Structure 1
């Protein structure tokens, strides 16, 4: 081996070692500290999204949760879909591409997320197929929230309980008929004060041959990171009044 060859070989070895160290460091930071992989990303508001479970399976019968009976067997209640930092483009903050691809399918090799037993139990009773959906929701939305996974899901659960208490009766009363967004907003105004209803909208999906079903209720809130600074008790009425108005995706739909 010539002297020049030794020099090239040495430089190549050094560069290889540097690249390997950088890759190892990036993996260590992501994998070892996934519970605090967060980014505010300039969000100034968020949406709490709740799904009416009977409607979802009408519109998406091929969904795994509907096929397994987990969703179709649930009582008539709103279930937690997610807590989404706005604007909606705020997704997968700092998440490596291979994790993003797996999480977007809610299947595959998605790194686990550290959650307390209390939060896990709450998700199991409030979110359908929580073992998969919670991972998707964390990597897609939670990583842009500015808070830890336990705070992200814990706050979502506390807010979801208030939504259920307020709106479950509205959906149950409308079962078998049409539910206009005006009825939902009127109930929110009645419960939390005039103007709060402007922060609430509906999302609908079409079921073949049966028209549009109301699937989601979306509630506009302050940014996830600011929720407890606005109101430490997470009072839904207070938070709604501090959030921007929300345009409803549909004006009315069927409630099964």
Structure 2
């Protein structure tokens, strides 16, 4: 009798923890009319897309549902799609119709270019650098990950790649960005965001140092974080400063340590020690190590480097790091993932 009551209590607790209807998948009738060529994902979270399928503008697809009420992804049926015909498509890519003339979700588009407000240049920043092969284990459908896993980006196993430069404190983002633009800030519609105004040399360097450039990551990083950097040179200065800092890290023993241990597990303390050796004692305490899990493996995914002070061509990276407050180590150990699907 006692065991039955315990089971009943546990079951009730589990049921109470289930998502409520407000967050649940919602079935829809009718059709999805594509207005753009957009990725059709098997998994919207991992952004996998077997067959690299895209919607065809003006074509109607059978509607299955939406990820939640007022959500951002429709699930539609694409005939003969490999692995699964049920695919996720951004709601910004088209409209849901039940019958002619009955649009239920209007697509959103940017209102045009905008000018971020003026302000004093950010002196409190977080440089976030990725180990791209680890990122691509969990996002294999991204364009840059397809290239990497096909052996086309060998430099990503020798150096860190740019994720972004984030003015602090956390939450200091989207400065002066209109709501109509913010609504487009999801991976499926990054290409529709206003492009950062950068010169040809910066764009060329960024395309190498930031593999996500192929997926318009540089649009997202500028809109969300760069608009709060307030450098006098706008987007070009923001990305020039990011490239400068990244080059300094990649020219140091930190990148050498990672490249020498591809496929091996290393200690977080060794990564921090490499910063101390390269940029001065104590700098390693300003590095937060981020890991991700993949099929039972713990992979070192990113390094978050705290900085305090003005970033300029003459700035000393060690001094910028030591001026920032120490941070926790984060992940204590992990594997340096090799390129390609493991």
For the criterion TM > 0.5, the same-fold answer is yes
Report matched runs for 1:142-153 at 5 Å.
Answer: 142-147=226-231, 148-153=234-239
Q: What is the aligned partner in structure 2 of residue 74 from structure 1? A: 153
Report the Cα distance in structure 2 between the residues aligned to 1:142 and 1:136, rounded to whole angstroms. 9
Q: What is the aligned partner in structure 1 of residue 107 from structure 2? A: none
User: How many angstroms does 1:115 deviate by?
Assistant: 0.7
Report the Cα distance in structure 2 between the residues aligned to 1:108 and 1:121, rounded to whole angstroms. 17
Q: What is the aligned partner in structure 2 of residue 215 from structure 1? A: 301
Select the structure that is richer in helix: 1
Report the Cα distance in structure 2 between the residues aligned to 1:38 and 1:130, rounded to whole angstroms. 26
Report the Cα distance in structure 1 between the residues aligned to 2:302 and 2:118, rounded to whole angstroms. 26
User: 8 Å contact 2:191–2:219 — kept in the other structure?
Assistant: no
The TM-score, its normalising length taken from structure 1, stands at 0.77
Q: What is the aligned partner in structure 1 of residue 139 from structure 2? A: 60
Report the Cα distance in structure 1 between the residues aligned to 2:224 and 2:325, rounded to whole angstroms. 22
Report matched runs for 1:101-180 at 5 Å.
Answer: 101-105=183-187, 107-130=190-213, 132-147=216-231, 148-166=234-252, 167-180=254-267
Report matched runs for 1:1-256 at 5 Å.
Answer: 31=113, 34=115, 36-37=116-117, 39=119, 45-69=124-148, 73-75=152-154, 76=157, 77-105=159-187, 107-130=190-213, 132-147=216-231, 148-166=234-252, 167-207=254-294, 209-222=295-308, 226-228=310-312, 232-256=313-337
Report the Cα distance in structure 2 between the residues aligned to 1:155 and 1:191, rounded to whole angstroms. 19
Once the two structures are superposed, what CA deviation does each residue of 1:112-156 show, in whole Å capped at 9, x if it has no partner? 221111211110111113150111000010011121111110000
User: 8 Å contact 2:275–2:283 — kept in the other structure?
Assistant: yes
Once the two structures are superposed, what CA deviation does each residue of 1:25-51 show, in whole Å capped at 9, x if it has no partner? xx7xx82x53x545559x652111111
DSSP 3-state at the match of 2:285? helix
DSSP 3-state at the match of 2:185? helix
The TM-score, its normalising length taken from structure 2, stands at 0.59
Q: 1:71 to 1:205 in 2, by over 3 A?
A: farther
Structure 1 window deviating more from structure 2 (192-201 vs 108-117): it is 108-117
Structure with higher RCO (Cα < 8 A, 6+ apart): 1
Q: 1:39 to 1:205 in 2, by over 3 A?
A: farther
Once the two structures are superposed, what CA deviation does each residue of 1:58-106 show, in whole Å capped at 9, x if it has no partner? 2332334213448963221211111011122111111111211213335
User: How many angstroms does 1:205 deviate by?
Assistant: 0.9
DSSP 3-state at the match of 1:103? coil
- Structure 1 gaps of 5+ residues are 1-26
User: 8 Å contact 1:57–1:72 — kept in the other structure?
Assistant: no
